[in-house]
Amino acid sequence: MRCTVFGTGYLGATHAACMAELGHEVMGVDVDPSKISKLEVGEVPFYEPGLQDMLQRNVDSGRLSFSTSYEEAVGFADLHFIAVGTPQRRGEYAADLTQLLSVVDRLAPLLTEPAVLVGKSTVPVGTAEMIAERARKLAPVGGALEIAWSPEFLREGFAVQDTLTPDRLVIGLASGLSGRAEDLLRKVYQKLIDEEVPIIITDLATAELSKSAANAFLATKISFINAISEICEPAGANVSDLANILGLDPRIGRSFLTSGLGFGGGCLPKDIRALMARAGELGASEALHSLREVDSINMRRRTKMVELARHACGGSVLGARLAVLGAAFKARSDDVRDSPALSVAGQLQLEGAAVSIFDPQAMDNARRVFPTLNYATNSFEACERADAVLVLTEWSEFKDLDPSELATTVRSRVVLDGRQCLEQARWEDAGWRYLAMGLPTIN
């Protein structure tokens, strides 16, 4: 089969490469020529484990190509995936649909043959219907243009695996159409369906809302354990042991129950805000009051991490040398969008600390956002003469650090584990003072 993918960012480039890996002929389309010129020669413009080899292999085989031309894309296929960004609107909670509308406004007028547009981006419920109407008005084929929504649940860091072996495929369809969209999508996903990946065919609204609800649930789980962590501190309880206890109950599960610096990135924060905004527009804002609390608990984690750093430095970080390990919003990614690690690093610098930062993959992105931090070339260098070391992204490279070796370079053996990812006993045995939110060690 042939298909195109509009938008070749974290989601779109992965989706395009994975569709080619499944045996289809795929063209990725983006408005960013620098991205396309890298992708064309098989180079992934961001870090995603496993993607580089797969992309290169499929570009070399001729199954995967890239272009900035909408005309070329329309001539190439009649199944078009849309994977452009839907960030938070500036100064508002709602999603900014500018990228999505620009795809529709440029693509639809070129459609002179029956075609299917499939949204993969995360959108406020109701967007697909709105897009369908707009596209049909603009498209010369009119009603022969069908819209479906197939939201994406992949995780950065595991994007290839999540696309090729997803937990489920969701396909939202408009009622009263020819069935062509469903046929094409079943064909494109046939290999996954053969491997018994559950497929849920539903209406457009349910498909769109299922993605927002999934992210709202995950965000709630993280903020729940972080709220409990806030109680653990004055109570002298240990949030890490507590999470293990809760997690052993199969009704609860251990995933997303690690207390720490909270969530960030280009999805969870903006998706819960967009959901609250959309609920308000639909007259159902009360249903999601709890998400406001989820958001505020999450943002408080960053403030509390800064407080912990002040505490570790005797009340103020002014003049302290602080090593920050981690800039990406999570491990296995170079994505620094709304990164808790970077926002803590930035705040510490504002309070007068000399911050030296290192991340295995996110240095270039971090430098663009926060050019004034001191960027070290490795963990050891970041920690040179540090008064405290803050581990703010849970990279395995940081978990594997040798605390005895690191002790030789720091000024004070104080480590703040913002992700509860270090082995406390190992660090304490090497003479370190170990601090983490929600653990009795803080007092």
Site residues (vs ligand NAD, CB under 6 A): 6-12, 29-32, 35, 83-86, 99, 102-103, 121-122, 152, 154, 156, 266-267
Nearer to ligand NAD, 35 or 278 (CB): 35
We find the least distance from the C-beta atom of residue 149 to ligand NAD, in angstroms, to be 11
Nearer to ligand NAD, 30 or 394 (CB): 30
Nearer to ligand NAD, 10 or 76 (CB): 10
267 catalytic per annotation: yes
We find the least distance from the C-beta atom of residue 87 to ligand NAD, in angstroms, to be 7
Question: Nearest to ligand NAD by Cβ — which residue?
Answer: 9
**Which token pair is 432?**
């370190």
We find the least distance from the C-beta atom of residue 52 to ligand NAD, in angstroms, to be 16
Among 3, 267, 383, 421, the active-site one is 267
We find the least distance from the C-beta atom of residue 196 to ligand NAD, in angstroms, to be 22
Measured from the Cβ of residue 319, the count of other Cβ atoms closer than 10 Å reads 10
Nearer to ligand NAD, 99 or 356 (CB): 99
We find the least distance from the C-beta atom of residue 12 to ligand NAD, in angstroms, to be 6
Residues that are catalytic: 267
